[in-house]
Amino acid sequence: MNPFTYTRTADTDDAIAICSREGAMFLAGGTNMMDLMKEGVNTPSQLVDIRKLPEKQIVTRDDGSIRIGATATNSDVAYYPLIKERYQVLSEAILAGASAQLRNMATVGGNLMQRTRCPYFHEVAFACNKRQPGTGCSAYNGFNRMNAILGGSEHCIAAHPSDMCVALAALDAVVQTRSASGERSIPITDFHLLPGDTPHLETALSHGELIAAVDLPVISKNARSHYLKVRDRTSYAFALVSAAVVLEINDGVINYARVALGGVGTKPWRSYEAEQVLMGASANEETFTAAANAAMQQAQPRQFNAFKVELATATLKETLEIVASMAS
Ligand code: SF4
């Protein structure tokens, strides 16, 4: 591991100022950062520990929306009463990820910054455009079973690993940031970047920009939601595919639909194609089949991950059926 300095501060402006220096990185729960440092993938010259910052509260606001402080732990979010009750898809997604111990350490901000589990990215002996731009992509013609089928490019097909972010995409969450130049609101769908020809650029954040909070907009009391994750084993595994669905159904007609997929995209994958099929349609098997097929229209599987097309189609269809049954 490279030598680095460690700084802990309870002052947000201090943290931003220190982390604006070249080579400095924020440290929150450390559940991903420590692995990446041990592997030699992340090599910060300075770590700024932000766990003592005030941004850890979860607050229900007067209009019913929720603000989640960026250093709130994943467990705190999953068990927050209003999130369990009304934003069920988020609670379920978080509890489907990692282990209880990791969820107690990992933070919401850290989860947003979680990096891919593409094995070639984590093994520095292999060429990887994301880790070292311009070296090539070992996964493109390599063992790509866990890689993405949506949103990839010839330069990178790494799947985004987060469960939480898939649910946030289905909830139209907004990421609030602070930096030396001020505050910004970034819709979750704009927060993660497609790889294109710059796969090393993964988020819309600039260097030294701190994730302060995540806002969950008001959700209708009549909306129902669910997160379904399919993986190689029943716990402590990343998604082969997953689906986050929010539906509101009135008299058998879908008047609100949000669909996001995990395990298949290079970013948490919002499926506008599926939503277009669902909105205004009857909540029945024919509609759900059409929506699931639409979600996979743009899929571009590689040699070892073609199974994800059928698996994601079936997973999304089943999730839609589950949510519809909750709504009726
Ligand atoms: Fe690296 Fe992306 Fe290729 Fe994986 S898919 S080897 S992360 S460039």
Would residue 83 count as lying in a domain? no
Looking at residue 1, what is its pLDDT? 72
CA of 56 to the centre of ligand 1 (A): 33
Would residue 108 count as lying in a domain? no
Contacts of range 7-11, beta carbons closer than 8 Å, 24 or more positions apart: 7/46, 7/47, 7/48, 7/49, 8/48, 8/49, 8/51, 8/52, 9/48, 9/49, 9/50, 9/52, 9/53, 10/52, 10/53, 10/54, 11/53
CA of 3 to the centre of ligand 1 (A): 26
CB distance 103 to 73 below 8 Å: yes
The ligand 1 atom at the shortest distance from the C-alpha of residue 120 is: 6
Report CA 39 to chain centroid distance, whole Å.
22
Mention every residue, 6+ apart, whose C-beta is less than 8 A from residue 70. 28, 55, 56, 107, 108, 109, 112, 210, 211, 212, 213, 214
List residues bridging with 241 in a β-sheet. Answer: 230
CA of 135 to the centre of ligand 1 (A): 10
| CATH number of the CATH domain containing 44 | 3.30.43
Would residue 297 count as lying in a domain? yes
The ligand 1 atom at the shortest distance from the C-alpha of residue 128 is: 1
Whole domain around residue 35: which residue ranges? Answer: 5-51
Which position has the token pair 């970047």?
A: 193
CA of 131 to the centre of ligand 1 (A): 8
Instruction: Retrieve residue 324's tokens.
Output: 């519809």
The ligand 1 atom at the shortest distance from the C-alpha of residue 119 is: 4
Query: What are the Cα distances from residue 324, in Å, to 180, 201, 253, 276, 288?
Result: 46, 38, 10, 17, 10
Would residue 256 count as lying in a domain? yes
Would residue 279 count as lying in a domain? yes
Instruction: Retrieve residue 187's tokens.
Output: 């819709």
The ligand 1 atom at the shortest distance from the C-alpha of residue 155 is: 8
Looking at residue 127, what is its pLDDT? 98
pTM: 0.98
Looking at residue 328, what is its pLDDT? 67
CA of 211 to the centre of ligand 1 (A): 25
Mention every residue, 6+ apart, whose C-beta is less than 8 A from residue 284. 252
Angle (nearest 5°) at CA 198 between 138 and 70: 105
The ligand 1 atom at the shortest distance from the C-alpha of residue 147 is: 5
The residue whose CB lies within 8 Å of the most ligand 1 atoms, and thus the one to mutate among 116, 132, 160, is 116
> How many separate domains does the chain show?
2
pLDDT by residue, tens only, the chain of 328 residues: 789 999 999 999 999 999 999 999 999 999 999 999 999 999 999 999 999 999 899 999 999 999 999 999 999 999 999 999 999 999 999 999 999 999 999 999 999 999 999 999 999 999 999 999 999 999 999 999 999 999 999 999 999 999 999 999 999 999 999 999 999 999 999 999 999 999 999 999 999 999 999 999 999 999 999 999 999 998 899 999 999 999 999 999 999 999 999 999 999 999 999 999 999 999 999 999 999 999 999 999 999 999 999 999 999 999 999 999 997 6
CA of 311 to the centre of ligand 1 (A): 22
The ligand 1 atom at the shortest distance from the C-alpha of residue 142 is: 6
Looking at residue 327, what is its pLDDT? 79
Looking at residue 135, what is its pLDDT? 98
Would residue 41 count as lying in a domain? yes
Would residue 273 count as lying in a domain? yes
Would residue 238 count as lying in a domain? yes
The residue whose CB lies within 8 Å of the most ligand 1 atoms, and thus the one to mutate among 41, 116, 120, is 120
| CATH number of the CATH domain containing 272 | 3.30.390.50
Q: Which residues line ligand 1 (CB under 6 A)?
A: 116, 118, 120-121, 128-130, 137-139, 147, 156-158, 199
